[in-house]
Amino acid sequence: MADLTLKFSGEVIYWRGPAPFHFVAVPEAQALKIKAEASRLTYGWGVIPVTGKIGRVEFTTSLFPKNGGYLVPIKNVVRQPEQIEVGDVINVTLKLG
C-alpha cells in the first residue's frame, strides 16, 4: 500500500495528563482510514507514527488512540511558531506510512 495522506481541520484541546499536551482530534472519517491501516503502521499500543504539517511547520509525532479515535499531539515546537492556542481550529496534514 502506498503512503496515506490525510487533511483535516480540528479544534486544539489541552489535556492535563502526566505530561501536559495540546492535541487535535482526528475526525471520524479520517480515523476510520487510519484504523484500516493501523496493524501495518503501529509500533505498539496502537500508537501510529506520522509526519505532519501545520501552517509552515513540518514535524514528526505519533498519533495516540483515544476513545476509538486518534489524537495528534501538538508540541510546543509546532504550536509556538504558528501561535496556536487552545480553542483554535487548525488545518492539519498527516502522512502515514
pLDDT at residue 20 in the model? 65
Q: How many residues does the chain have?
A: 97
**Do residues 90 and 13 touch, judged by C-beta distance below 8 A?**
no
The string of DSSP letters for 20-87 reads -EEEEEPPHHHHHHHHHHHHHH-SSTT-EEEEEEETTEEEEEEEEEETTEEEEEE-HHHHTTTT--TT
The three three-digit cell numbers of residue 66, written as one number: 483515544
Q: Which domains does the chain have, with CATH numbers?
A: 4-96 (2.40.30.100)
Mean pLDDT for the stretch of residues 58-77:
93
What is the average pLDDT score of the chain?
90
pLDDT at residue 59 in the model? 96
| Highest-scoring range by mean pLDDT, 2-6, 15-19, 53-57 | 53-57
Q: Each residue of 20-53: pLDDT tens digit?
A: 689 999 999 999 999 998 888 887 777 899 999 9
